[in-house]
């Protein structure tokens, strides 16, 4: 086993999740590369030192350039705001360092294109942090679809709905300004990524994005509260996706339904250890959705727990992600989703925003 020095930029919510994942991944998956928490970067010296002490990093800095340039930092996790992604990634790739970047990839499609170009020119490992699709249940759903268990997919409905801004009296914040922080920039990429992973490329779409609560205590809202889009996939399937931060009662509404010619699948992240499967070839008297509890027979479950139905959680998704990133570095083989895959998500977001503005169908390939 070999050590690899990890630098994480951002020590907050996602920075902590990645630090914990890098600390645990070697024990969970017996990885050939064992992460060493080398350096953490935050916006001030005091906060960086706080995160260093809390998470177990060797060193701390308030300047991401110091972290990127340090020779002991061999792989970098970008867990800072979207508008910082591009500069950090380009600097890291100039040094041929591997990068795992939180979604979405940059603050715009132009950012993600530049980041893909830098990644591919460098030849360094690159990956985007779409963690929800890595649950054992969703990995199993991908396998069922790929193996033809529900036949040819005819329809997909997906949503990413939460209610952290459902109350119009909730104060304005950084989340209520700038397109990258709106629902299309923040929540939509996760479900778009799921649609691409489960069904495949999207050819065309029409969409609506709107601000429901335009004024909040402390300021005006300049981005979208909710959005929806109808789409046509390259394989001919019809789709509908809905995204909202004002979906009253929804806490982690990352959910999808998939209809096929031989069956159907349902999933809801609020019950992330269960997948619902319907098969038309069951005896007539027994047809109905069956609840499948995830267990050791399902992808990436056994390393966490030997008991079926005991379940995995949010942090485990990040640990699986860390394993994939380390495996890509070790083998030199790309692991999905790469920066190019992340750019495809941003392409669809750009097409959806254009469709909302023009009130017309858009061809994704033109973006």
pLDDT in tens, 195-231: 999 999 999 999 999 999 999 999 999 999 999 999 9
pLDDT score for 121: 98
Whole-number pLDDT of residue 170: 97
**Residue-wise pLDDT tens digits, 14-42:** 999 999 999 999 999 999 999 999 999 99
For the beta carbon of residue 70, count every other beta carbon within 10 angstroms. 17
Residues 134-143 as b/e (b if ≥16 CB within 10 A, e otherwise) read bbbbbbbbbe
Assign 82 to helix, strand or coil: helix
Beta carbons of 294 and 19 less than 8 angstroms apart? no
- pLDDT tens digit sequence for 118-132: 999 999 999 999 999
pLDDT at residue number 135: 98
Per CATH, 2-129 and 133-334+345-358 having the same topology is answered: no
The secondary element (H helix, E strand) that includes residue 234 is none
Class of domain 2-129: alpha beta
CATH domain 133-334+345-358 topology: Dihydrodipicolinate Reductase; domain 2 (3.30.360)
> Could you give the CA distance from residue 347 to residue 68 in angstroms, rounded to a whole number?
28
The answer to whether the Cα torsion of 252, 269, 159, 16 is positive or negative is positive
Mapped onto helix, strand or coil, the DSSP state of residue 315 is helix
- Domain borders along the chain are 2-129, 133-334+345-358
**Residue 300 above 90 pLDDT?**
yes
pLDDT in tens, 327-364: 999 999 999 999 999 999 999 999 999 999 999 999 99
Instruction: Please give the model's pTM, rounded to 2 decimal places.
Output: 0.96
Confidence of residue 250 (pLDDT cuts 50, 70, 90): very high
In the chain, % of residues over pLDDT 90: 99
Calculate the average pLDDT of the chain.
97
Mean pLDDT value across residues 149-173: 98
Cα 134-327-28 angle, rounded to 5 deg:
65
* Residue 296 phi, psi dihedral angles, 5° rounding: -60, -20
Indicate whether 107 pLDDT > 80. yes
Judged against a pLDDT cut of 80, whether residue 1 lies above it is answered with no
Hey, is 203 helix, strand or coil? strand
CA distance 12 to 9: 9
Can you tell me the distance from the alpha carbon of 352 to that of 239, in angstroms, rounded to the nearest whole number?
Answer: 13
């Amino acid at each position: 086993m070999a050590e690899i020095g990890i630098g994480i930029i951002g020590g907050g919510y996602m920075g902590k999740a990645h630090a914990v994942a890098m600390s645990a991944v070697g024990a969970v998956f017996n990885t050939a590369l064992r992460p060493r928490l080398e350096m953490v970067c935050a916006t001030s010296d005091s906060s960086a030192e706080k995160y260093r002490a809390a998470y177990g990093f060797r060193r701390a800095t308030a300047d991401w350039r110091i972290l990127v340039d340090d020779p002991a930092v061999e792989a970098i996790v970008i867990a800072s705001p979207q508008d910082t992604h591009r500069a950090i990634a380009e600097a890291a790739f100039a040094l041929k360092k591997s990068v795992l970047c939180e979604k979405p990839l940059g603050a715009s499609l132009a950012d993600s294109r530049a980041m893909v170009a830098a990644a591919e020119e460098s030849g360094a490992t690159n990956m985007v942090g779409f963690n929800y699709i890595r649950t054992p249940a969703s990995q199993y759903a991908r396998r069922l679809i790929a193996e033809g268990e529900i036949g040819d997919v005819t329809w997909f409905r997906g949503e990413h709905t939460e209610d952290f801004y459902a109350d119009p009296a909730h104060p304005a914040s950084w989340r209520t300004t700038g397109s990258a922080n709106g629902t299309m920039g923040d929540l939509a990429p996760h479900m778009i990524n799921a649609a691409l992973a489960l069904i495949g490329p999207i050819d065309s779409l029409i969409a609506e994005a709107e601000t429901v609560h335009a004024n909040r205590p402390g300021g005006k809202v300049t981005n979208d509260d909710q959005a929806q889009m109808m789409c046509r996939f390259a394989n001919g399937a019809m789709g509908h996706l809905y995204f909202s931060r004002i979906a009253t009662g929804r806490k982690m509404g990352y959910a999808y339904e998939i209809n096929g010619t031989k069956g159907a699948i349902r999933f809801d992240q609020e019950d992330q250890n269960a997948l619902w499967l319907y098969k038309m070839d069951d005896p007539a008297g027994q047809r109905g959705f069956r609840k499948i509890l995830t267990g050791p027979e399902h992808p990436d479950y056994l390393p966490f727990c030997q008991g079926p139905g005991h379940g995995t959680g949010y942090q485990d998704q990040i640990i699986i992600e860390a394993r994939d990133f380390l495996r890509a570095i070790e083998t030199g083989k790309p692991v999905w989703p790469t920066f190019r895959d992340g750019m495809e998500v941003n392409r669809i977001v750009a097409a959806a925003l254009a469709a909302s503005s023009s009130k017309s169908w858009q061809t994704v390939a033109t973006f």
